A = this chain, B = another copy of it.
């Protein structure tokens, strides 16, 4: 890739970023866009929508940057919970790592790389086409002692990253404990989910649970809630809701009412009042729902699972940690998620169906990974213009234009990849939801992992190996030579990944600020919807989309910092953008949907350790290729020590992210003993885990009036 192609890409993206920033600064102050840009404040009633005109509104102001910058960690914790704080810690952690690596890279490694003349010697002809490679390690002469500078940089940065990883893990885990101590009593702290409940003939699941826990935990058992199969009911309720919305719509818009009546009965139709008809149908549906609810409650629609509550956190933890029944496949216990985080549809499916869907998920993930190689290959074709000309000869005339070829090689490949990547997180979330997790947070965590590994395999490895050794399919079947292959292939793709950081990183972050899709969506529906208040919902941040992206840039930074230090300034700009923009979004846009209290951090830690070890592998390869005889051997202790460090961290911190210790639980329980509101709280536990599909529903006008319906839940 030419420097000019990279500059084209940087230019386009910088322009886009500025455009988004200015547009955002203007548009966010228009009351009609409040729901897009400050939905949190709208939901909290802080912003009124009175739209008197004001010239000031049209002048872009950077005030929001100052606000976002000033936000303290305590404030963030109080408004968006610990998960948001942990998310920001990922960005801060990356900023620290790459500021340090950036200083080393730009001020030490880059001059060393530039002073070499390896590339001039060997392929002077090709030089102009690969001018970016002058700044990479490829330009250092083979066997040159200057490579020891790179060697030292690898050691120093690894030690620094490990030190920071330890510090952050400690920081996050202590935050987690502090968060637990500061939390109010919550139902899921006192509750476990029991599955595979054995039922003797003639008795119900509920009896069985009651008998078992009364027998073995008489002093601590409080109550239980057996789960029922409610998928049919859930469909009915959804139908009811849809009908209700339509009715609201019709009542609000008489024109539409009339139009519909005419179209339906034509000239001959009686003048039936359609609203009345709809109301009748709504009442019928509600009756059906009520019938269904009582049916489900009475008959044998019980699932062999129940939420069992205890009178203390310690008792719940004890029941969760010990195997309850003699048969280890019965009375399976796990920690209960918070009531509004429960993924109810999961319980409706049978064991076999869940088992099969898990298999299907695995197969789908593999298929998705394979199919995704196709766009990656096409993108790779674009960076090698000559190959593109071979494939599509008719393009030859267009490709000779400098600007076109620069856009195609510099900007288009990353853009295409990025568009394809956009659809991956929702697919992965859908797959995870089939996999049998009982809570939304667990589904998103699993999806986060899936997206991360998908990105690493499909973007990093597919790009690296398709660009240079695609035709050597034997690479995976030859594990001994992987470092050497990496050493050749990875530096060759440096310029692509620099462009990728600029395109995918910069633009996606600024479009995150601008919220393109919600904005377009709100523009589109504005003419049709008069008042959307009752459908308005504050969005939550999709961690499974954003965390893997940041982590992937972390991987790129760590693997390329000593190969092509030029990537680091671009990465730092991306991280600074992300820092400001996400703080702003937490403040104005996203409301927390659930709270895992920092359970995303182990994913971050693992990903960083993987990046480090991968970087060491590449270092072994590149030092072998560069004929620095002793260096590959001297690198070997580094991955071993890194993995030992990881092992220590797994022992030292990971258990704190899985469950709370006896000490913590007992302390917290004792604190509550003197709290007079505890007995009331414990009484409320009985109904805390009620399936929303079984809650009373009332939309129709006859009893309560249309304007205050008892909407059951958004999660059905």
Contacts and interface: CB of A to CB of B under 8 A. Distances in A.
A652 B329 contact: yes
Given A318-B322, A321-B322, A655-B323, A328 B661 contact: yes
B328 A653 contact: yes
Contact of A328 (B322, B323, B325, B656): B656
Copies in the complex: 2
Contacts of A318: 318, 321-322
B321 A321 contact: yes
26 contacts: A177-B326, A216-B662, A317-B322, A318-B318, A318-B321, A322-B659, A322-B661, A322-B662, A323-B655, A323-B659, A323-B662, A324-B662, A324-B663, A325-B661, A325-B663, A326-B656, A326-B663, A328-B651, A328-B652, A328-B653, A328-B654, A328-B655, A328-B656, A329-B652, A477-B478, A477-B479
A446 to B, nearest CB: 20
Interface string A638-654: 00000000000001111
A19 interface: no
A480 interface: yes
A350 interface: no
A156 interface: no
Contact of A323 (B324, B479, B661): B661
Contacts of A660: 323
Contacts of A662: 216, 319, 322-324
A216 to B, nearest CB: 5
A424 B326 CA distance: 38
A318 B324 CA distance: 12
A199 interface: no
Shortest 10 CB-CB contacts between residues of A and residues of B: A328-B655, A321-B321, A323-B661, A322-B662, A324-B662, A216-B666, A318-B318, A329-B652, A326-B661, A321-B322
Interface size range of chain A in the complex: 20 to 34
A645 to B, nearest CB: 14
Interface of A: 177, 216, 317-319, 321-329, 331, 477-480, 651-656, 659-664, 666
Given A318-B318, A477-B480, 14 more contacts: A318-B321, A318-B322, A321-B321, A322-B662, A324-B662, A325-B661, A326-B656, A326-B661, A326-B663, A328-B653, A328-B656, A329-B651, A331-B663, A477-B478
Candidate in A318, A651, A654 with the most chain B CB atoms within 10 angstroms = A318
Contacts of A653: 328
Nearest to A652: B329
Contacts of A478: 477
